[in-house]
A and B are shown apart, each in its own frame.
Chain A
Amino acid sequence: MRPADYRTPAIGSDSLAHQARLLEVWATAPGLKGFFSSVDHKQIGIRYIVTAFLFLALGGIEALVMRLQLAGPNLSLLTPEQYNQLFSTHGMTMIFLYASPILSGFSNYLWPLLLGSRDMAFPRLNALSYWIYAAAGIFLYAGFLTGNGPNDGWFNYVPYASRDYNPGLNEDFYSLGMVFLGISTTVGAANFIVTALRTRAPGMSINRLPIMVWGTLTASAANLVVVPAVSLAFLLLWMDRQFGTHFFDPGGGGQPLLWQHLFWIFGHPWVYAIVLPAMGMVSDGLPVFCRRPLVGYAAVALSTVATMILGFGVWVHHMFATGLPGLALSFFSAASIAITLPSAVAVFAWLATIWLGRPVITTALLFFASTILLFVIGGVSGFMTASVPVDWQLTDTYFVVAHLHYVLIGINVFPVVGAAYFWIPKMTGRMLDERLGRWNFWTMFVGFNLAFLPMHVTGLLGMPRRVYTYAQGMGWDTLNLITSIGSFVFAVGVLLFFVNVWKSLRSVANAGPNPWDAPTLEWAVSSPPPPYNFAVIPTVVSRHPLWENRLDEEGAVSSIERGMLLDKGKETVGTTALDAVPDMVLEMPEDSFAPVLLALGAAALFVGLLLKAWLVAGGGTGLVALAILIWLWPRRELREREAGS
């Protein structure tokens, strides 16, 4: 027990001198130095968001090219190999490089603000997580841009991915890139879990967490469990390809189905990991525009966790046609039907919130409310595929393509754009234009449904997935043309969103700290927030600290203006996991080049492995070791040495 940890922090009120002291400690250096060394969660969060939107645009362009090829029968804009690389890269981009990172970006930016803390629990790990994501994204796209993109779908089934059938570098880029990216997801998830459990404002007990925190916390816990499965699968595949092991090779006693199990035991929980935080955005954002608290907070929070737990038991519904025994199929079919229930809790809670509140129609509300409908459409088509005999017909047709786009666009893109309208004023101090916002919403909504609603019928008429072309006379011509037109309308909608953000960035910063009169802690600080977030650490007594004067919650009042000063260094408070009782002062690390150095070293290592340039791989490993050494070098100011020793 080190006495320094048991210092009782001074309590006081905010003052200009106090703010100046904090600014000196917390501000990131300007220029490139700050850019590469910053560990500020807000800067990292914005970088995540910008990078993820960039990948959304890339994946979208890939989709549009595919829709041109499929607009009519027997078109030959693309060769089969080009089409195959496009659809695989599109899936990889949207699922791994957009859908998950965009949520990490919002969570990174918002969490400490929502939780009343000054940064994430492990700021340098946070920076590392971003740099590895960026490096892995570039690595994967380097494959695509050199004609070596993945060409076996994002699900990458063996034996087609094995060297016998796929001799190029394509699958090596993909395998190594996925192992690389897995590092980012894993350290990010660990950081989120510790942040949620240990750095909340005093008094923010676990039953006062915003739902988005529940969502990301649950998703992060799942990621820690399932990402190792997929990283392992890709590593084994790479070894099969490059060193002649036989994990998946039936000729050598291996099992092609092993790949599918390892992949989907990751893949299905991952689907929930990329929608639960977005559902949290709706649960937190929607009530602000309905002018009342969320209906059924506890039910929604618990159903978030329940969805994830059930989500671990449904992966075989991707494998109903693989010849597994009927008993196994029955179990996974039942679990897949049952998972409808916890998902439905959120739907009914949102509907009730709108019905029992007094909704104000804003662009953000339109996006959040439309999420409900799109979620239901994606949910009920998922329920159909949960029934094994029905799925034997539906699976691998465009019905499933329609289903998964309703899920991923409906419960990721729509809430994320809504969240952007809601939270960008916090990030930049500038509002987005509501008029343009209406155009943005309706173009996206109409375009999306025009593209994907008819696609259910295309699937029922039997069009298989992943085909680079189709023959005339199959009954799919008109439907595909409609889908192609819809996809371009949708793309215009997304473009309008980017235009709106761009316009907003050029406008005056007049949003003020709380433009929407919203209830949670992030709205208690200026927009954009200062580098230290909170001048004094707030103490919280309810779920809605800024609405207490109107809701009279529990008769108590949260303390925002007065609290722990913690200005003796780069400090924030650590609290207990359930009740958020303060129990230690956390010394936060300074900005550091170690994370970016480590990511560079790791990138060199993976490039070396890809090209079998062992010298490069060795150099990369050396750089990683050096970065870790710098990172872990004990420093007194972080209390890694006894005070006074």
Chain B
Amino acid sequence: MSLAPLGYLDAAGRRAHSILPLTWFTLSVATAVCIVIAALLWIAVRRAPKNGGALETRSVPVERGSNGINWITVGLLISCVPLLVTLVWTMAALAAVSGPPSHPGLTLDVTAHQWWWEVRYDATNPSETFATANEIHIPVGVPVLVRLHGGDVIHSFWVPKLSGKTDAIPGQTNLSWMQADQPGRYRGQCSEYCGFQHANMAFEVVAESQADFASWRAAEVQPAPDPITPAQARGQALVQYRCGLCHQVRGTGAGAISAPDLTHLMSRRTLAAGRLLNNPGSLIGWIQDPQGIKPGTQMPNQYLSAQQLSDVQAYLVLLR
């Protein structure tokens, strides 16, 4: 990850790349205009014959002075040049990057929820369809079409290094697309204000080679492994009973879909939409006190005993 994981002045994908020259052009024009105007203003004020208050003001006689309309005409004419260039360039860039690719290599359905991302991979064979959360795997080098759905309020899908923002709005399906040039992890972030935990509504896009992507996908399709030890079995029972009201663990009795799918929870790098790095320790911390870690999150504190926690942990770390 770079020094600024959400910075968009270094792009890593075709879509973000193709607008960078336009961004730099407008930024340079903007900076140049500021410098020229600042210089003109500075010199003009420095020429002031008097410095003071009312007395000094009154002491300088009023004169009609020259007409000066040329300043406006010439100024406007000069301004027109970068404006026209920007206008044409904008339209060209818009045409190049706005439309979704006609032959996407992969199509995803992303549903934004308060405050996490549901990612659904559809397949022609229903048994190969699966859902995951907050981590989007894509193959490099192919355009990926993202169908965006609003699960509750408005959110916005943004992966600065790959693609600009597109809102996820309830009641409509918006289209976005991205294409990664090289393998890597790219941070994404909700960029439309959506309530308490808008700040902690991140995700990651993992771009990998076709082969890696295929093996990841094959692993994700699998149901959760069965518990082996008694502790894992007790943990699974607890997860079904306590977590299953909201979460799904495919292949078990936990079958709700109003919170992230946990079937392969431990294959993901982060927890709670990028709030925590995912490891057995932070997982237990999160389960016990989500309201302390992410105040206002939909997940309630669990108040499990130490024994229950260790059982749950024993089971969840199985879900790779």
Chain A contacts to B: CB under 8 angstroms: 79-81, 84, 152-153, 157-160, 165, 250-251, 254-257, 288-289, 291-293, 295-296, 299, 321-323, 326, 329-330, 333-334, 337-338, 340-341, 344-345, 347-349, 351-363, 365, 369, 372-373, 376-377, 380-381, 383-384, 386-393, 395-397, 425, 431, 434, 460-470, 473-476, 511, 515-517, 519, 547, 550-551
Contacts and interface: CB of A to CB of B under 8 A. Distances in A.
A353 B72 CA distance: 11
Interface stretch (B90-98, B212-220, B244-252): B90-98
Nearest to B97: A389
A165 B153 CA distance: 8
B196 A160 contact: no
A178 to B, nearest CB: 18
Nearest to B27: A384
A254 B164 CA distance: 27
B60 A360 contact: yes
Contact of B51 (A341, A360, A377, A388): A360
B49 interface: yes
A475 B153 contact: no
A377 B34 contact: yes
Report the 4 A-B pairs with minimum CB-CB distance, sorted nearest first: A392-B164, A250-B171, A462-B6, A475-B4
A355 B90 contact: no
Contact of A462 (B5, B86, B174): B5
Contacts of A338: 83
Interface stretch (B63-71, B137-145, B234-242, B254-262): B63-71
A73 B196 CA distance: 17
A362 B57 contact: yes
Interface stretch (B38-46, B128-136, B306-314): B38-46
Nearest to A462: B6
Contacts of B5: 462, 473-475
B222 interface: no
Contact of B76 (A159, A251, A344, A467): A344
A390 B26 CA distance: 9
Contacts of B64: 292-293, 551
Of the listed residues B27, B41, B62, B150, the one surrounded by the most CB atoms of chain A closer than 10 A to its CB is B62
Contacts of A473: 5
Contacts of A152: 193
Nearest to B51: A361
A347 B37 contact: yes
Given A160-B154, A359-B48, A470-B199, A389 B71 contact: no
Contacts of B152: 159, 165
B83 A369 contact: no
B71 A349 contact: yes
A445 B255 CA distance: 59
A288 B57 contact: yes
A158 to B, nearest CB: 8
B59 to A, nearest CB: 8
Contact of A362 (B16, B56, B114): B56
Given A295-B69, A516-B58, A387 B37 contact: no
B57 A517 contact: yes
22 contacts: A159-B152, A160-B194, A321-B167, A321-B192, A323-B174, A326-B99, A337-B83, A344-B75, A345-B76, A354-B41, A356-B66, A358-B49, A359-B45, A361-B52, A362-B54, A383-B86, A387-B22, A389-B19, A396-B191, A396-B192, A465-B193, A517-B57
Contacts of B174: 322-323
Contacts of B61: 291, 550
A575 B89 CA distance: 51
Contacts of B191: 321, 395-397, 464-465
B68 A295 contact: yes
Given A326-B94, A356-B68, A361-B51, A466 B193 contact: yes
A291 B63 contact: yes
Contacts of B107: none
Nearest to A80: B196
A369 B45 contact: yes
Interface string B69-81: 1011001100110
B189 interface: yes
A389 B98 contact: yes
A390 B19 contact: yes
A81 B50 contact: no
Contact of A289 (B6, B57, B69, B196): B57
A348 B77 CA distance: 12
Contact of A381 (B30, B44, B72, B154): B30
Contact of A256 (B50, B67, B169): B169
A354 to B, nearest CB: 4
A295 B72 contact: yes
B319 interface: no
Interface string B98-126: 11000000000000001000000000000
A386 B37 CA distance: 21
Contacts of A159: 152-154, 170
Of the listed residues B27, B57, B98, the one surrounded by the most CB atoms of chain A closer than 10 A to its CB is B57
Interface string B21-35: 011001101110110
A321 B166 contact: yes
Contacts of B40: 351, 355
B53 A431 contact: yes
A294 B93 CA distance: 41
Contact of B65 (A356, A377, A465): A356
A321 B199 contact: no
B283 to A, nearest CB: 18
B280 to A, nearest CB: 21
A384 B83 CA distance: 10
B3 interface: yes
Nearest to B26: A384
Interface string B138-182: 000000000010101110101010001111011110110000000
B212 to A, nearest CB: 26
B223 interface: no
A299 B73 CA distance: 10
Contacts of A165: 114, 152-153, 195
Contacts of A363: 53
A299 B72 contact: yes
